[in-house]
Structure 1
């Protein structure tokens, strides 16, 4: 995935420098006096402070905060970004001024894969996000609903213990076992199917998930250069990659939904998340739910499955 890293689009950006310079000069003539900003390092034209963010962004930001203080302004391309680097300032942002700072930037990858922010994880703060969170709290993650999935956890834990017991005389990778256990539980709860085996799209499920996570973590120039970045994404192939991944996921979701709507499908003893969401779509819970809302919620489930190991790795690194 190095092709979609920061360095991959720089040659294309250099080709556009003459045009960009003209645009910036025209914009500068229309700029009005702006309020005082937090301290900021010297920046370069066009790319701002992107050159100061290395492969380990948290380390780069920490070094900059040592010089410019716990609150500083960085320009990531054309996007002004305020960085808070102390417990006190973080508390101010996340607690005292939570409502003023709870919005999310409209990032290209999550926007496409979440059906234009129809989910509860990536979307901007507003009435829609409140409705989606209400669905999660009241319908998907309520105490009664969580308890109803207890049998899934019991069955999968028993299977894991059995597999460990059968491998008593050989090494066992407990990390893989525990991650696989969590993945399988989440998939059974969300889709009614196990994560492993050929039940899931003849093995394509894992491949699509890996591709989606790579896209969510990739560098999109559209996010940092809104007026013209899409040109670079088209030239590097990232735009086509996102579209292909979206259509692969959409087809996968549609097959899951079609299976659940099949009139000949044997009625399950316990509803999974897909059953619940389709029921809410029929009952018009709160805001009008569409099939795209259902798919967006399923997308959240898949992201949880694959991002979880990355979060655990990050926590282990920071604890050291």
Structure 2
């Protein structure tokens, strides 16, 4: 006898009374359940927009959230639209997110842009934690970042740096050198030659350079209306032209990557193999494109920005510049230039690099994570669906960890300190993330 037949034998008045008797129980149970949940503190939110109004102003979002964390604590809950975000601003809380509860917080939030630009989550950065993600990460780490490729990196980098030195020394002392353009060019040359076997520089593809394609992709990977307003956001994305802009961006990215793959299909056997060649034999075309997208979007812009920050801090601090120059001169001696073996032994240079990454990580926040299972961070409940933003910028300036002038550039703070920057045993600085989803080269 099915459920419909059973209900037909029960009087309607009995069902009504039963429902009325159970309603108070359900109501009280829900109240108790809500009261037992201890959510992280945060500023009051407004209807519909949540805390979006608190991001308005001339400061960057990372600076605004850092200041709010001084009021509400290192684990702070905000709502952007209807979407809850947990903002982490201390190494202790970061350790809980990236190590203690890594399994429950290792997923990436869904977004239309990340799905489209990663070729339906075929990549190693945006795809959910799964066997496919593990395989793609392994391919990226071994084929692009492994020992086999490091020799090519070394050769290409030395050639490019020799060209840069010649270019800079050819300028007069009064000539302004654009470091941003110079370092972007270096990184573009190195990454493209190692990954694609060719240099694309200022070449245009459908009217856009590779750097312009990458920059537009990074913009589109930001937050859209749909990400924070699930109900009516898709309508706003369509009316604002965001959907059309995303498809145009994907068309340029896909067109460039397809051109690269097509060029490799005509290579002869005597030509040196690169990343595309090594990947193509075991992966689908979409998987190869997705990994290439990770390479160019993860390396081109962020690496150049970090190099610019390093030189900017060195120039602003004559004492640091003098000390670094002395170390370089001591290693060069009578040689014409430095080599990689010299750099590996330059202690003060390593301190300068660490201090640069502490104050100026490649991105102010690690890639967002999403809670897939209820957990507790700092004694607060984090519910499924909550997106987690770890402020690598704020953690690197936290006075609880960096007691002596945390906002000042001082490489000596790393002297006789084993602290590294890969989110392993310490989370005092995490420019490259930590846990299962950290960048594969750290």
TM-score by length of 1: 0.77
CA contact under 8 A between 1:120 and 1:132: conserved in structure 2?
yes
1:255 positional shift: 1.1
CA contact under 8 A between 2:111 and 2:227: conserved in structure 1?
yes
For 2:360, the equivalent position in structure 1 comes to 315
CA contact under 8 A between 2:202 and 2:210: conserved in structure 1?
no
Number of aligned positions between the proteins: 280
For 2:286, the equivalent position in structure 1 comes to 292
Q: Are residues 1:205 and 2:210 paired? A: yes
SS at match of 1:75: strand
SS at match of 1:98: coil
Q: Are residues 1:128 and 2:132 paired? A: yes
Give runs of ≥4 in structure 1 deviating > 4 Å: 168-171, 199-203, 310-314, 316-320
For 1:220, the equivalent position in structure 2 comes to 224
| Whole-angstrom CA distance in 2 between matches of 1:42 and 1:200 | 47
For 2:70, the equivalent position in structure 1 comes to 66
CA contact under 8 A between 2:108 and 2:126: conserved in structure 1?
yes
For 2:145, the equivalent position in structure 1 comes to 141
| Whole-angstrom CA distance in 2 between matches of 1:154 and 1:61 | 40
Specify every segment of 5 or more residues in structure 1 that has no aligned partner in the other structure, as ranges. Answer: 1-28, 282-289
Q: Are residues 1:277 and 2:279 paired? A: yes
Q: Are residues 1:46 and 2:48 paired? A: yes
1:100 positional shift: 2.2
CA contact under 8 A between 2:204 and 2:210: conserved in structure 1?
no
| Whole-angstrom CA distance in 2 between matches of 1:43 and 1:261 | 55
For 1:163, the equivalent position in structure 2 comes to 167
Q: Are residues 1:78 and 2:49 paired? A: no
Of stretches 193-202 and 154-163 in structure 1, the one that deviates more from structure 2 is: 193-202
1:259 positional shift: 0.9
Of stretches 236-245 and 226-235 in structure 1, the one that deviates more from structure 2 is: 226-235
Residues 88-99 of structure 1 mapped to structure 2, 5 A cutoff: 88-99=92-103
| Whole-angstrom CA distance in 1 between matches of 2:219 and 2:191 | 21
CA contact under 8 A between 2:152 and 2:194: conserved in structure 1?
no
CA contact under 8 A between 1:148 and 1:270: conserved in structure 2?
no
| Whole-angstrom CA distance in 2 between matches of 1:175 and 1:49 | 34
- For the pair shown, the structure with the greater C-alpha radius of gyration is 2
| Whole-angstrom CA distance in 1 between matches of 2:213 and 2:128 | 25
CA contact under 8 A between 1:193 and 1:200: conserved in structure 2?
no
CA contact under 8 A between 1:187 and 1:193: conserved in structure 2?
yes
For 1:116, the equivalent position in structure 2 comes to 120
Q: Are residues 1:230 and 2:234 paired? A: yes
1:175 positional shift: 4.5
| Whole-angstrom CA distance in 1 between matches of 2:130 and 2:187 | 31
Structure 1 residues 213-260: Cα deviation after superposition (integer angstroms, max 9, x where no partner)? 22223x401111123311101111111000111011111111111111
TM-score by length of 2: 0.57
Specify every segment of 5 or more residues in structure 2 that has no aligned partner in the other structure, as ranges. Answer: 1-26, 310-358, 362-392, 398-406, 409-442
CA contact under 8 A between 2:81 and 2:229: conserved in structure 1?
yes
| Whole-angstrom CA distance in 1 between matches of 2:220 and 2:87 | 24
| Whole-angstrom CA distance in 1 between matches of 2:112 and 2:136 | 20
Structure 1 residues 8-36: Cα deviation after superposition (integer angstroms, max 9, x where no partner)? xxxxxxxxxxxxxxxxxxxxx9x954433
Of stretches 46-55 and 246-255 in structure 1, the one that deviates more from structure 2 is: 46-55
